[in-house]
Chain A
């Protein structure tokens, strides 16, 4: 009896390993084809790691919020996660003027919102106008995508022309995001607070059933949905009848609930939970977040980080592969540029980031930082020591930074850890009261370099103008031509590294735990879940 059970376990583990390996390359949960053709029906029970902050797609920021809001709203365009290319969704086609100031969208005919009202060019205008009213405090991402927004004109019933006062090339990719999803007048007419109560009306494949803040959200399939994006795997309605999101903050409880069949899929599966998930026939799906990978952003006006040579020496001093192997596991990748590898326009700069402690020591020696009595380098009486402020938004942060601390010590640099709550981190960042700050940002467009490093942004580097960098950052925003824009994004990536404005460490990955019954759980281009093609086998 015991022997049989052990044999089954070994077999299950082997199968699970095989499917994980197969799933790694494809960004989706294709379980090796054994599950057969998709079956409609059933309720997907999903465990979120944090409560969604608001039910409004436009006000969504966190991953856990977006997992819910992405399902109820359609966007004008959709982004292919494999190629980064923009595909038709609510807009069947579009034109952009060469100066990237005017965007004209031709809408699909016959689309209705879930309250029965039709999608028109006016819906597009009302949606974008309402985001301007929400403002950048309530809808920070959506409002930043609409910077310099002049207005939207309904040219005719199904043609919407969106105009900006300055070039805004990133807007086309932004039109594919959840934040700029098109909402019905029933929702856009409401106040910011009313839009968070779980009765938002949109045209998506699912609609809100019940919404209990901090507890659970139930979504129901939209009958008659026919306008899925060109990226979706099938046409027509979604397969699932319902999706039940429950907030389960404790990771051990999420994993246990998945393994014991009380949930079908969970957010934020930790590396140490993987064996338990795989032992019960499940698997961990992962995809790398696009955007700026995790890293240290130095305040160039304080301490030893004022010295450009010190910032340059930090790049080869960090062993990124060791960070991934020791702390995170195979779903994660070492950072190889100032953009994550899944971001459109990414350029592989891993040669510049190769681990080479001798090189780091050489740079510091030449810059006059000589080892002191305790091994930490000194120059003109100043110790080569700086602190980093960070919060535990990602569970691995502290362990990663502790390992970096050891690695830097090898080349004579002292790193001091300052773990804060998210609230304190934001406050210290806004006051520019830090030597360096550690975080990452998700966005599937190279414009994230401008929001992270641009002088007109938060400028956490507290830097002055760097002509080559600033020209590239501004230039990519005014170039509608994809190739020319990619070239500028490449330049900006190199320049940010040259100026030592970001010391990259690792790329964030989403790790979703899925049971054996959850099939075709897919990530969209911004690494958030899209449940349209998902189905349940054996139910």
Chain B
């Protein structure tokens, strides 16, 4: 177990380093010079003194050779110093620290809504014996995925904030201010959960042990709850990484529509302004979240399905754990 954890931590460090390096290379390959962009402000149109640009580049260390910039930035990042935003001058850790609580609250509530909604929908769709209802419920996830988040958000605002005035339209704090954006964000994620769980449930219902359980005289509901749900939920957990990705991408739109200062908005403004230190900070943060979520999922598997644990702990973990970044539902289906 200890060896397994050490390996996983090393792996996480490797992923973080790769994310840092790749983002560094990509950002420095971009043609535009962030200092000129920052200096130009909102396209003020006035000529910017070349000497002043050079001075500012020196202040941010952008005039030094690329490899030297890379080593300095990496060294600082290891010590938790992500530098300063080129646009606002704020330390990047402060900028992220200010934005994070709001996004965590939003993502947490959205995940709760998505899980409740997605699981309920999947259970209802696979439990019912009426074909028309099954078809109708089965179509809902595709709808949930395909409706643009932007549109859902505006629709919810129109009804609940502008028309009925039940919730604030912008900058909301607490439950009343978070519920609408969380619902918006939960919609596509809940749809994915419902889709994957429903297909897991359907295939689990076809397993021989279900027939055994039914033969023992269990009701359909009892079998679903006691025997089917747990193994069927494994693929859903496997796509947790994808869901987290969805959530971060969705937060850009949701935070813009609901005027919430968060990591999504921070990312959007930083990318538009080519504020390299901030973009790198966000990339590191998201990699950290991915790594953590996947580790948590790996540790959760044995609780869901003891058969996975029996296999995983014995073999070299790095090869057989089902929830690597690229881990897919099919890969797990072999275990199940």
Contact = CB atoms under 8 A, between A and B. Distances in A.
A51 B95 CA distance: 14
Interface in B95-127: 95, 98-99
A214 B31 contact: no
B46 A192 contact: no
B41 A62 contact: yes
A143 interface: yes
Contact of B259 (A144, A250, A259, A292): A250
B56 A457 contact: no
A192 B157 CA distance: 39
B81 interface: no
A209 to B, nearest CB: 15
Given A135-B56, A252-B154, A260-B162, A141 B256 contact: no
Interface string A17-51: 00000000000000000000000000000010001
Interface in A355-385: none
A326 interface: no
Contact of B37 (A51, A422, A457): A422
A458 B47 contact: yes
Contact of B45 (A213, A256, A439): A439
B125 to A, nearest CB: 34
A338 to B, nearest CB: 13
Contacts of B294: none
Contacts of B32: 423-424, 426-427
A342 B34 CA distance: 33
B256 A250 contact: yes
A262 B259 contact: no
Contact of B36 (A248, A252, A427): A427
B56 A138 contact: yes
A21 to B, nearest CB: 27
A247 to B, nearest CB: 6
Contacts of A140: 39-41, 44, 46, 48
B39 A62 contact: no
A305 to B, nearest CB: 20
Interface string A241-281: 00000111110110011011110000000000000000000
Contacts of B35: 137
Interface residues of A, number: 58
Contacts of A212: 98, 261
A16 B89 CA distance: 44
A482 interface: no
Please report whether the interface of chain A is mostly helix, strand, loop or mixed according to DSSP: mixed
B227 to A, nearest CB: 47
B88 A53 contact: yes
B38 interface: yes
B100 to A, nearest CB: 13
Contact of B170 (A262, A421, A424): A262
A137 B48 contact: yes
A486 interface: no
Contacts of B149: none
Contact of B165 (A249, A260, A393, A439): A260
B42 interface: yes
B49 interface: yes
Interface string A44-87: 00010001011000000111010000000000000000000000
Contacts of B256: 249-250
Contacts of A259: 162
A23 to B, nearest CB: 25
A452 interface: yes
Nearest to B57: A137
A137 B53 contact: yes
Given A135-B56, A140-B41, A249 B36 contact: no
A452 B46 CA distance: 7
Contacts of A215: 171, 261
Given A137-B48, A423-B272, A260 B169 contact: yes
B88 A457 contact: no
B158 interface: yes
The winner among B40, B256, B272 for most chain A CB atoms within 10 A is B40
A457 B170 CA distance: 42
A252 B258 CA distance: 11
B142 interface: no
B87 interface: yes
Interface string A123-140: 000000000000111101
Interface of A: 47, 51, 53-54, 61-63, 65, 135-138, 140-141, 143-144, 191-194, 196-197, 212-216, 246-250, 252-253, 256-257, 259-262, 292, 391, 393, 421-427, 430, 439, 441, 451-452, 456-458
12 contacts: A54-B88, A61-B44, A136-B46, A137-B55, A248-B169, A249-B265, A250-B259, A253-B157, A253-B259, A262-B161, A422-B42, A426-B37
Given A137-B48, A140-B40, A423-B274, 20 more contacts: A53-B87, A54-B89, A62-B42, A138-B39, A140-B48, A144-B47, A196-B89, A196-B90, A213-B90, A214-B269, A247-B261, A253-B170, A257-B161, A260-B165, A422-B43, A423-B34, A424-B32, A426-B32, A439-B43, A458-B45
